[in-house]
């Protein structure tokens, strides 16, 4: 099977798994990550088949989206082998999809990623910042009944994975301080750093404006 056919099959597989998601991980997120990965792979000279496959599949077996991630990883592996991925290629893709999530980077020994993995991680993180990132945070916060803002609730520091998923005292604005403003400094590649810089600035301007409007009339 040639590479363009393999990519097409992976896209269809991803679509069938992701299109019903309503948590901000739906297929338009996947397509943005894929587009970004395409750009980054070119400028960073990475293996496009591996990065594109991992981009399409990166949220399919996410442990917060599915009950049995191991079962889905097995399904992904069988699918990749069916479309002529070697064992080594399939394992490389699965290693990436398994290890790039933000929650993994909160663990004590964050896994060491290949260049291809770094690129997919950068692309996923870039989609969490800037104008799209702001929109996703509000969307996620709304879906999880978060308070918009409460100046008396301070952002949490040094969260572990469990705390990151505990939304009882979470506010949408605090999510910026707990995660989104940290992502610029966590980019792996030079190309992603440059894009992150602009998006980061946009979020800072947004937060400044937000607080100005919130505190109107107060000194
Ligand atoms: P990933 O799958 O990339 O590790 P998450 O599932 O943690 O990301 O987040 C999905 C989207 O929802 C991201 O854009 C993220 O910033 C946003 N999000 C995650 N947690 C919160 C939260 N507590 N409040 C608002 N937005 C959040
Ligand atoms: Ni993602």
Q: Could you please report the per-residue DSSP string of 133-189?
A: HHHHHHHHHHHTT-BS--TTSPPP-S--HHHHT--TT-BHHHHHHHTGGGSGGG--S
Is residue 164 within 8 A of residue 106, CB to CB? The reply is yes
Is residue 120 within 8 A of residue 96, CB to CB? The reply is yes
Q: Is 128 in the pocket of ligand 1 (CB under 6 A)?
A: yes
| CA–CA dist 93, 117 (Å, integer) | 8
Q: Kindly report, residue by residue over 151-210, the tens digit of the pLDDT.
A: 999 999 988 878 888 888 899 999 999 999 999 999 999 999 999 999 999 999 999 999
pLDDT of residue 36: 98
Q: Kindly report, residue by residue over 12-70, the tens digit of the pLDDT.
A: 999 998 887 666 567 899 999 999 999 999 999 999 999 999 999 999 988 777 788 89
Q: Is 170 in the pocket of ligand 1 (CB under 6 A)?
A: yes
Q: Kindly report, residue by residue over 92-107, the tens digit of the pLDDT.
A: 999 999 999 877 777 7
Length of the chain: 219
**Spacing, Cα 100 to ligand 1 middle (Å):** 13
Output the pTM of the full model: 0.93
- The answer to whether domain 3-214 has CATH 2.30.110.10 is no
């Amino acid at each position: 099977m040639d590479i363009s056919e393999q990519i097409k099959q992976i896209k269809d597989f991803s679509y069938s798994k992701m299109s019903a998601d309503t948590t901000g991980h739906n297929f338009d997120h996947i397509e943005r990550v894929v587009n970004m990965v395409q750009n980054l792979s070119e400028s960073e000279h990475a293996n496009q088949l591996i990065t594109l496959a991992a981009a399409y599949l990166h949220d399919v077996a996410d442990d917060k989206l599915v009950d049995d991630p191991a079962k889905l990883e097995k399904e992904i592996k069988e699918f990749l082998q069916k479309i002529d991925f070697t064992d080594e290629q399939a394992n490389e893709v699965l290693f990436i999809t398994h290890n790039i999530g933000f929650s993994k980077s909160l663990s004590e020994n964050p896994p060491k990623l290949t260049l291809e993995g770094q690129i997919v991680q950068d692309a996923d993180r870039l989609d969490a910042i800037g104008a799209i990132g702001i929109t996703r945070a509000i969307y996620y916060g709304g879906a999880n009944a978060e308070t918009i803002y409460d100046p008396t609730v301070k952002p949490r520091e040094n969260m572990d994975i469990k705390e990151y998923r505990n939304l009882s005292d979470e506010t949408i604005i605090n999510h910026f301080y707990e995660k989104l403003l940290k992502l610029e400094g966590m980019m792996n590649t030079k190309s992603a750093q440059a894009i992150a810089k602009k998006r980061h600035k946009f979020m800072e301007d947004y937060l400044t404006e937000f607080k100005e409007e919130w505190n109107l009339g107060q000194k």
